[in-house]
């Protein structure tokens, strides 16, 4: 992706990024030149997207077809009591434009099928999956795999969170290498509930990882899965390998 050179004004705005040796001017220019698709503006999206906007990712597309409901307010912290009944993607975009009016923020109030995802994913440099169901996660993974667009996946349920990165380059694992081993009941907070700040932990990690990937910070992210258990305050990390039985990527190898 082409890097736009920073203006003096932008250098001031993002100075606390730029003084990080790993980020520097070059990394910030990459963030400003990048286009990220955030799918899902629930708890994860509400935690992730504000950092992407305030941190100077140049273009954000926020996709969600839901409206804000009373029981969302417990954890979806971009929304207020006055926003109930309005489209999540539109309210979130409006809020983030106030955080940073110098980047482009688009909202998309639409259920994304495979065809819509293909077009969208191919138009972005990175996809952050903040959705709340396995069927959509699998569709996003398939679109990212087809377009070779990197994917950062997040999930939170009960007191547990999960984060994973897939570069979608040849001979690397995809989300389905992992998700083929669990069912929908493992990933839905509809019946199981979720502790509010756990979505904040995972959403913030998704934003952190997005900036690492875009700016080229850290090299050990490929196929990395991080699990957080708030009950025990415990973190676990492991590396995924390509599954020979993966329904998405095994045939392409
Ligand atoms: Zn796979």
If pLDDT is split at 50, 70 and 90, which confidence band does 192 have? confident
Please check the confidence at residue 4 and state whether its pLDDT lies above 70: no
104-108: strand order across its sheet: 104-108, 59-63, 35-39, 126-129, 151-157, 160-166, 224-229, 234-239
Model pLDDT, residue 181: 78
Please check the confidence at residue 187 and state whether its pLDDT lies above 70: no
CA of 239 to the centre of ligand 1 (A): 13
34-239, what's its fold? Rossmann fold (3.40.50)
What does the DSSP 8-state code read for residue 87? B
CA distance 28 to 40: 25
CA of 196 to the centre of ligand 1 (A): 31
CA of 145 to the centre of ligand 1 (A): 9
| Percentage of residues in the chain having pLDDT higher than 90 | 87
What does the DSSP 8-state code read for residue 42? S
Name the more confident of 5 and 63: 63
What does pLDDT average to over the chain? 94
Model pLDDT, residue 221: 86
H or E element at residue 160? strand 160-166
Span 74-103, average pLDDT: 98
Model pLDDT, residue 191: 72
CA of 66 to the centre of ligand 1 (A): 29
Tokens of 247: 């329904």
CA distance 124 to 139: 16
């Amino acid at each position: 992706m082409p890097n736009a050179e920073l203006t003096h004004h932008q250098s001031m705005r993002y100075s606390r990024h730029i003084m990080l040796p790993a980020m520097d001017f070059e990394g910030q220019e990459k963030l400003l030149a990048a286009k990220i698709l955030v799918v899902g503006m629930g708890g994860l999206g509400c935690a992730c997207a504000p950092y992407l906007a305030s941190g100077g990712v140049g273009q954000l597309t926020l996709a969600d077809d839901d409206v804000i409901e009373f029981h969302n307010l417990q954890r979806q912290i971009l929304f207020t009591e006055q926003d109930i009944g309005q489209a999540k993607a539109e309210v979130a975009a409006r809020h983030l434009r106030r955080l940073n009016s110098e980047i482009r923020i688009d909202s998309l109030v639409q259920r994304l099928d495979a065809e819509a995802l293909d077009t969208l994913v191919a138009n972005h440099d990175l996809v952050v999956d903040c959705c709340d169901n396995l069927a959509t996660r699998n569709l996003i993974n398939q679109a990212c795999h087809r377009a070779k667009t990197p994917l950062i996946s997040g999930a939170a349920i009960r007191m547990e969170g999960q984060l994973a990165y897939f570069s979608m380059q040849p001979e690397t694992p995809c989300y389905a290498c992992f998700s083929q081993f669990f069912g929908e009941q493992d990933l839905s907070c509809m019946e199981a509930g979720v502790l509010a700040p756990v979505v904040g932990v995972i959403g913030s990690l998704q934003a952190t990882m997005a900036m690492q990937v875009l700016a080229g910070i850290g090299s050990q992210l490929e196929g990395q899965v991080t699990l957080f258990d708030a009950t025990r305050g415990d973190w676990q990390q492991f590396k995924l390998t390509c599954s020979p039985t993966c329904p998405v990527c095994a045939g392409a190898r």
